Chain A
Amino acid sequence: MYTRGLLSKTSTTALNDVSLKLDESEPTILTVAGESGSGKTTLAMLMLGFIAPSSGQILYKGQDISRLRGADRMTFRREVQAVFQDPFAVFNPFYTVDHLLTVPIQRFKLAKSKREARDKMEEALTAVGLRPEDILGRFPHQLSGGQRQRINVARALLLRPRLLIADEPVSMVDASLRANILETLRSLQKNYGVSIVYITHDLTTAYHIAKSIVVLYRGAVMEAGDVDTVIKRPQHPYTQLLIDSIPWPDLSRRWGETDIKAREAEHQEITTGCKFYPRCPFAMEKCTVAPPLFQLGTHQAASCYLQDQHPTIPSEHLWKLLPV
């Protein structure tokens, strides 16, 4: 759980009772989806150890990451890498790409000689589909958004991470380049055994890249499970609304066919119950008490009373439903 209040005493709960587990031996791609304000970036920050949770723990290889010190902390920093949203903001304009890639090599002592460092850089760049001779020695402003984003992936790859946290890696990139970057991410998972947490609001790319999905709304898990099941047969009203609102590039599939009109929340009501209650078209009396997760199938769970004929599942066991 992560809460925060700066000026007022009332704090905002950005994430509430979210449990996830990724297995080292089975690298996978997990999508965390949700609209702005759903807490998905907070989750990324927590997993990267940039912020500490108000309650609960984040364990990396069995150790609480906020307690890591010294060599353990360095290992964690090396093995858990991030790719952020805006490829235009993360580069220092005064340094060439070489600098960006040599700093982590020096910091983590990955190479014994300059020669080796260069080889490593070239290898990482080639792996993400870039030609090193085009990239090395260039300044960020000489590169396109897609190239920069792939350099970010290359930088992360250089450190041989076990876990990559990609926070909206393609939302600022042209549609034609998105495919290339997603393909790069997927081949990382396949060929290098890196687990990826793909954070996005774009369910189309999530569908194509991920194995499993967790849908967040205002910091609470709405629905989770196998990506095919959740996207093709969403059971939670919020997921249904999200999927119905995707503008599919398909003329036979019109927008808003499944007429779920969400009410617009006029102001952020803080309810103790279901977070989606103020906007839900099916809101009932009992929704004012937060619904537990109901297990709908072997690979799907939804937090909604419409599904209360199904057995409940404790949130800390949610990961068991997520296929790898």
Chain B
Amino acid sequence: MKPVLQVLNLLVTYYTDAGRAKALDDVSLTLNAGEKLGLVGESGSGKSTMALAMMRMIKPPGRIEGGQVIVDGTELTKLSDEEMLKARLSKIAYIPQGAMNSLNPVLRIGRQMVDAIKAHDDEASRRTIEERCMEALESVDLKRSVFKMYPHELSGGMKQRVCIAIGILLNPKVIIADEPTSALDVVTQRQVMETIDRVQEQLGAAVILIGHDMGLMAQFVDKVAVMYAGRLAEVSIVRDMFTDPKHPYAQALIRSLPSLENKGVFQGIPGLAPSLLRIPSGCAFHPRCPYRMDVCTTVRPELETLSNGRQVACHLYTEGLTDAGANGIQERHQSVYARPAVKDIDNRT
């Protein structure tokens, strides 16, 4: 199958007073039509930068310093600003974080939707434009009457769905949803995610879901990409990611998930996410990694494809170490995460 989205060696740097922060460092991704990819990572790992870079919406002091973004055969990174304006929404659409706050409170929903179409197609008659908006609203389970309403008349979930409707107005090939449900409660979250799911199937578009809720990922996506300090740590199909994560960070992430079985067991990931201004040498995860080897502190592991098709950036799986060797190391360190996050408060007085 021909990939609908290709990201090749994307490099984004923020120039701050404190120095250069590499927010995205040599990230490559491929996505087929109809595929759903989850992009997870801690805050500051570069997830949102990734979305903005693909939309070419990085603002100074940030800059895309290299790499390509190819959507449906068009290289977005080569387009002029004018052409990029046209490509947004028609090729690649973005549903921002807290999208409900992105609606203009003094304009009716309809007006905001019509504007979006007019920016791309000023030939179309008013009637056809309005009809398209109505259809988009209906496809996200909203009534036609919403067209004439103001944002404040809608609930959070409905506003979020209006944003999805705007996102799909021009049948984009790729939809990027940046934490689309982070401000919504569970019931509304489920309804919104089901809407995205259905719309995506109708359009056959590829979806990138950005977030840190692994539960949501398990329920929604086909493939999960784990980001750490501006780089991809692991890309696996969702079943592999949850049953047999390879990268130590992905393992810790999966282990930190709550479930109904192990009540009262909290396992955080020890240590803190590194600042992008001071990314550790070698593998960025090495200060927190329980399987750290000497090589990890000096040589940066590249994202490599294992024999079974999994993509992992970790020395445990390279450097001539066989799978068995890596497992041996893991077993020896099994106890590392067993210790509680807060130790022996009693002993301190």
Contacts and interface: CB of A to CB of B under 8 A. Distances in A.
Interface of A: 35-36, 123, 126-129, 144-147, 174-180, 182-184, 186-187, 191-192, 201-205, 207-209, 228, 231-232, 241-242, 245-251, 254-256, 262, 264
Given A175-B213, A183-B340, A126 B156 contact: no
A176 B242 contact: no
A174 B42 contact: yes
B341 A241 contact: no
Given A176-B253, A179-B266, A250 B218 contact: yes
B342 A176 contact: no
Interface string B204-232: 00000000111111111000000000000
B156 A248 contact: no
B273 A247 contact: no
A242 B219 CA distance: 16
A58 to B, nearest CB: 26
Contacts of A128: 342
Contacts of B193: 247, 255
B268 A201 contact: no
B346 A232 contact: no
Contact of B259 (A126, A183, A249): A249
6 contacts: A35-B187, A180-B266, A180-B341, A202-B186, A247-B189, A251-B242
Nearest to A171: B182
Contacts of A192: 345
Interface string B230-251: 0000000011001100000000
Interface of B: 42-43, 156-157, 184-191, 193-194, 212-220, 238-239, 242-243, 252-254, 256-260, 263-269, 272-273, 340-342, 345-346, 348-349
Nearest to B44: A144
B219 A254 contact: yes
B266 A129 contact: no
A191 B216 CA distance: 34
Nearest to A134: B272
Contacts of B216: 247
A191 B346 contact: yes
B273 A144 contact: yes
Given A183-B342, A187-B342, A251-B218, A36 B156 contact: yes
B342 A35 contact: no
A205 B214 CA distance: 14
B268 A255 contact: no
Which 8 pairs, one residue from A and one from B, show the smallest C-beta to C-beta distance? A35-B185, A247-B215, A179-B268, A179-B266, A180-B268, A245-B186, A176-B269, A249-B257
A207 B263 contact: yes
Q: Interface centre among A128, A174, A247, by most B CB within 10 Å?
A: A247
B79 to A, nearest CB: 35
Given A182-B266, A183-B268, A245 B187 contact: yes
B219 A247 contact: yes
Most chain-B CB neighbours within 10 Å: which of A128, A202, A208, A242? A208
A211 B217 CA distance: 29
B340 A246 contact: no
B212 A175 contact: yes
Given A178-B268, A245-B187, A251 B340 contact: no
A207 B260 contact: yes
Given A247-B213, A247-B216, A242 B186 contact: yes
A247 B263 contact: no
B46 to A, nearest CB: 14
A231 to B, nearest CB: 8
A129 B339 CA distance: 13
Contact of B218 (A207, A242, A245, A249): A249
Most chain B beta-carbon neighbours within 10 Å: one of A178, A205, A228, A246: A246
B218 A248 contact: yes
A213 to B, nearest CB: 13
B268 A176 contact: yes
B186 A246 contact: yes
B190 A207 contact: no
Contacts of B252: 176
B264 A208 contact: yes
Contacts of A256: 190, 194
A17 B214 CA distance: 37
A249 B342 contact: no
Nearest to B346: A191
Contacts of A208: 258, 263-266
A192 to B, nearest CB: 8
Nearest to B249: A176
Contacts of A127: 342, 345, 348
Contacts of B189: 245, 247
Quick one: which of A147, A228, A231, A251 has the most chain B CB within 10 A? A251
Instruction: Determine which residue in B260, B265, B340 has the highest number of CB atoms from chain A within 10 A of its CB, and name it.
Output: B260
Contacts of A36: 156, 184-185
Nearest to A192: B345
Contacts of A209: 264
A311 B215 CA distance: 38
A302 B132 CA distance: 46
Contacts of B243: 251
Nearest to B41: A174
Contacts of B43: 145, 174
A191 B345 contact: yes
Contacts of B188: 35
A178 B185 CA distance: 18
B264 to A, nearest CB: 6
A127 B165 CA distance: 49
Candidate in A126, A174, A201 with the most chain B CB atoms within 10 angstroms: A174
A174 B238 CA distance: 20
B268 A177 contact: yes
A245 B187 CA distance: 5
